[in-house]
Structure 1
C-alpha cells in the first residue's frame, strides 16, 4: 500500500457508498440512462446541502478547502454528518468516514518508523488464565494474536504456529487449513476484511499494517475482491463456528473487551451456553490439555 492510502480511501469509500443507493430511494426521479450506479456526485451534494465543487474536492481528498471546515482545517462534522445521512451510513461507517476524511498531521518520516512491539501486561495474562472454561485470547491492532489461555490455544492452536502465522487475516486467507477450520469461511473472510479496513483507517501511519494489507492483496484474490468492497465493521460480538480436528464442530458465541489503558488490544472470549454440546466438547478438550 502506498503512503497516501487515507486520502485515496475517502474517495473510494464515498463512491462505493453512493453506488449502493438508487435515486428513487432518496426521492429523486431517474432520467434516462445513468453512467454510474447509484447516486451521482451532484445528487449527493444537493441532498447534503454542499456545493458540487466542494463534494468533488472531498472525494478527491481535498476536502479541507472551502468554508465548510473546522478551525483546524478539517472537514466539519456538520458536512460529514449530512453526507452520512444521504448515504445512509451506519454508526461504524459514519465514524470511519470522519477518520479518513480529515487530513492527518503526520510527523516527517512517521511511516518509516515501526511502532513499538505490542506487549500484553502480566495482569491481562492472569485474567486470561483465570478463564479456565472459556477460550480467550488477545488481538492487537493488526489482528495479531498477542496472548491466549490454555483453552484458547487448544481450540485455535496458536502455540503451534510461527509468530508470523499468529495473525487472523493471514490464517484466513493464506493458510490452506483456514477454509477447513472455518466451516462458514466466506462470512469469516468478509468480517475479517471489514474489521481490518476499519483498523487501516484508524492507523494509516502504521507501516506493518500497510505491509500486511499489501501482502494479502498480492497473495490472495479473495482478499483483493473483498478489500475492493470497502466494507467496514466492528467485530464486537457474534458467533463463530470452528471445525476442531479432535473436538469436532464448535459453535462459539464470542464477546470482545478492550484492554484498559491500551485500547489497541482486544480480549476475545468465546462464551458457549452452559450445558450446550459445544460447552461439553470444550470441557472435554480442556481435560485433555491438562493431562
Structure 2
C-alpha cells in the first residue's frame, strides 16, 4: 500500500494543524489557507510568536548537538513537524554519521515528506512513525521503533514544542512517564513549552478566544518544572529557549518575554 497516497486522503486543508502553522511561522511553504489564517490570528494577538518558532527551532538544534557531543547516538523525536533545515538527523549525524533517529508525527502531510526525513547518512538510520503523542503505547509498540533504535542503550527523547498540545485532562505526566520508562538509564529528555505568564491579560484573552478547541495548553515555568521533576536537569535547568546554551550565538538575544517559551534538557535516571 502506498502510505503517501493514504496520507493525502487524510489531509483536511480546511482545519488548521499545528505542524503546518509552525511551518508557516518558520517561513516554509507547506501550509494552507486555514493554517495561515490561524497563524495570522495568533500573531496579531501575540506578535512574538514567529520569533518563538524560530528560537524554539534553534534551541532544538543546540540541544541535539549538545547530546550528540555527549555521546548520544539515538534520538526519538516526537512531534517532529514538517522537515525544515537542520532536522534532528542532520545535526546528530553531522557529529557522528552512525546516529539513528526515529521521527513521530500525527500530521498526514509530514508523512508525505517522510522520504526527506528518511535520508540518512551512510552508517546511520532514520525511520518515520505515523503516531500521536497522546498514545505513547502505540508509539512504543510500533515495529519500526525497535528496528531502528536499541532501547537497551541511551536514547534522547525529544518533545519539542509539542507538550503544549497536551491538555491536563490528557495526563501529560503519564505520557512522559510511559515513554521515559521504556528508555535505558542515561537517556535524556529534551523538551520545550510555550508560556503565557509574561503576557498581559488582554493578550491572554485574545489568545484564549483563538484557542477555540482548547487544544493549546500554555503552562508556567513552575508547571513545566513539575512535568520534568522525575529527571535531573542539565545546567542551566529550565531556561528561555532563546538563552539555553546560546552563549556562542552571534548577535543580541531576544528577551525571555518576547520569546515566551521555556526549554530544558534532563537526564533520565
Regarding TM over 0.5, the answer is: no
When the two structures are superposed, what TM-score results if normalisation uses the length of structure 2?
0.29
Structure number with greater Rg is: 1
TM-score (norm 1): 0.28
Structure number with the higher helix fraction is 1
